[in-house]
Structure 1
Amino acid sequence: MFVLVNLKAYPCDPVEVAEAAHEVAEESGVRVAVAPQAADLRAVAETGVETWAQHVDPLAHGSHTGSTLAERVADAGADGTLLNHSERRLKLAEIDGSLSAAERVGLDTVVCANNPEQVAAAAALGPDAVAVEPPELIGTGTPVSKADPDVVTDAVEAAAAVDDSVDVYCGAGISTGDDVESAAELGATGVLLASGVAKADDPKAALEDLVEPL
């Protein structure tokens, strides 16, 4: 299982979380990554943790003020990037362009989707993984794997029907080791979470709980 922690724009210390994630990954053997704000990518990458950008734009070098360029993300030490999170929605053509930008510099990719139908559409674009995240469950502490497990199993089937090389991750409401275990039982190969770690008083303890069943 892959555990990807999105720090969003929460008022946490990204380096503290990254150090905790790196320690837990080393101690447990579980793949754990952190996705900080773009300004914090280099500092997070320097901790040794697997580092992901929260977004890259479907652009190359040029007159693009305010954009997040894949080349700069990679230069800062990122290993991968999220795309199309429910808080940063893209059109399909933009997702395709961002995937091309990520591929250009060797970034791994996860495309977020609301439901199995969107998972299928995203999988057709050839990302490394898709993450099914019903937006109504994001930040609630109620995992989709328990609230509506069929969404996860249907997403796994939808992705496999299009391209069985695309992994399926489970997001929205993941906060405990039981949630991670449930996601795995439903066929997900990773989880995407945020507040369960980013808002925790003790990020390392929260991460240890997440990976304990694994």
Structure 2
Amino acid sequence: MKKREIRAPFFCVNPKAYLYGEEALKLAKAADELAKTFDIDIFFTVQYVDAYRIAKETTNLIITVQHMDALTVGAGMGYILPEGISAAGVQATFLNHAEHPIKVNQLVKTMQRAEEEGIIVIACADSIAEARAIATLKPDVMVCEPTELIGTGKVSDVSYMEQTNQAVKAVSPKTLVLQAAGISTIADVRQAIESGADGTGGTSGIVCATDPIHTLQEMVEEVTKVRDELKER
């Protein structure tokens, strides 16, 4: 199965375990409309139990799960089967997030399974050294978030963003870089894209906002503004 091509700059909405069921679907539908209106690729992370429904009720999103395993069809209990999530409409998965780290050998095997199923891999690293190391595996996307900033509303400084962008690209030029640690304002969004990142996104900055849908719209609009400005330069 062929992976979906990703257009930069892209945006990632990652509700983690903040949203599920009807509330997740509501935000997903809003993101789906924004993806269409602004002609932008949006990854939307779902709970496994919501994947099939959200995939069926949206048309423009890149439906993403928070993790999957290297399990193959047959015996195996309590793991996430790549074929199963693919059949549910999932097109991408996070791997090695700071809140769900995995060993290198497990990461390698799971990435191989993702390749077989045409599932986009968003691999996570929490330092420049780890970013450089994981980039040798050539993931489709890399998230470079210092663990201590996740969920704090504090963003990585520009120098860190630039250094991780360069570290990844030096090893794997085709890997896209996602800078999303602590993104909570449109200024944060602009800084991430202007740093040279291929995409940005948010979790608590969106879902914990007074009006999550309005906040999401502002962030997506800002990405497209920066995109258009960069084209004109």
Matched positions, count: 211
Structure 2: runs of 5+ lacking an equivalent? 1-8, 225-233
1:197 aligns to what? Answer: 206
> Which residue identity lines up with residue 29 of structure 2 in the other structure?
E
In the alignment, the residues of structure 1 paired with residue 148 and residue 131 of structure 2 have an alpha-carbon distance, to the nearest angstrom, of: 17
> Which residue identity lines up with residue 25 of structure 2 in the other structure?
V
In the alignment, the residues of structure 1 paired with residue 120 and residue 110 of structure 2 have an alpha-carbon distance, to the nearest angstrom, of: 11
In the alignment, the residues of structure 2 paired with residue 79 and residue 11 of structure 1 have an alpha-carbon distance, to the nearest angstrom, of: 20
In the alignment, the residues of structure 2 paired with residue 33 and residue 163 of structure 1 have an alpha-carbon distance, to the nearest angstrom, of: 21
In the alignment, the residues of structure 1 paired with residue 124 and residue 105 of structure 2 have an alpha-carbon distance, to the nearest angstrom, of: 15
2:181 is the counterpart of 1:172: yes
Structure 1: runs of 5+ lacking an equivalent? none
* TM-score normalised over the length of structure 2: 0.86
1:140 aligns to what? Answer: 152
Give how far 1:200 is off.
3.2
In the alignment, the residues of structure 1 paired with residue 101 and residue 140 of structure 2 have an alpha-carbon distance, to the nearest angstrom, of: 18
Secondary structure, counterpart of 1:82 in structure 2: strand
1:208 aligns to what? Answer: 217
1:86 aligns to what? Answer: 98
In the alignment, the residues of structure 2 paired with residue 185 and residue 11 of structure 1 have an alpha-carbon distance, to the nearest angstrom, of: 30
Q: Any conservation in 1 of the 2:149–2:182 contact (CA below 8 Å)?
A: yes
In the alignment, the residues of structure 2 paired with residue 140 and residue 159 of structure 1 have an alpha-carbon distance, to the nearest angstrom, of: 24
RMSD: 1.4
> Which residue identity lines up with residue 189 of structure 2 in the other structure?
V
2:127 aligns to what? Answer: 115
Q: Deviations over 1:138-177 (max 9, x none)?
A: 1111111xxx222211111111221111111102101222
> Which residue identity lines up with residue 95 of structure 1 in the other structure?
L
Secondary structure, counterpart of 2:179 in structure 1: strand
Q: Deviations over 1:177-200 (max 9, x none)?
A: 221110111110011421122233
1:10 aligns to what? Answer: 18
**What pairs with 1:1-150 in structure 2 (closer than 5 Å)?**
1-12=9-20, 13-46=23-56, 47-48=58-59, 49-144=61-156, 148-150=157-159
> Which residue identity lines up with residue 10 of structure 1 in the other structure?
Y
1:182 aligns to what? Answer: 191
In the alignment, the residues of structure 2 paired with residue 124 and residue 3 of structure 1 have an alpha-carbon distance, to the nearest angstrom, of: 24
Identity of aligned residues (%): 35
In the alignment, the residues of structure 2 paired with residue 129 and residue 66 of structure 1 have an alpha-carbon distance, to the nearest angstrom, of: 26
In the alignment, the residues of structure 1 paired with residue 181 and residue 205 of structure 2 have an alpha-carbon distance, to the nearest angstrom, of: 10
Q: Any conservation in 1 of the 2:189–2:201 contact (CA below 8 Å)?
A: no
> Which residue identity lines up with residue 95 of structure 2 in the other structure?
L
> Which residue identity lines up with residue 5 of structure 1 in the other structure?
V
Runs of 4+ in 1 over 6 A off after TM superposition: none
Q: Deviations over 1:52-77 (max 9, x none)?
A: 11111122123321111111111110
> Which residue identity lines up with residue 6 of structure 1 in the other structure?
N
Closer, same or farther: CA 52–11 of 1 in aligned 2, 3 Å: closer
Q: Any conservation in 1 of the 2:189–2:219 contact (CA below 8 Å)?
A: yes
Closer, same or farther: CA 95–192 of 1 in aligned 2, 3 Å: farther
Q: Deviations over 1:94-135 (max 9, x none)?
A: 111111111111011110110111111111112111110111
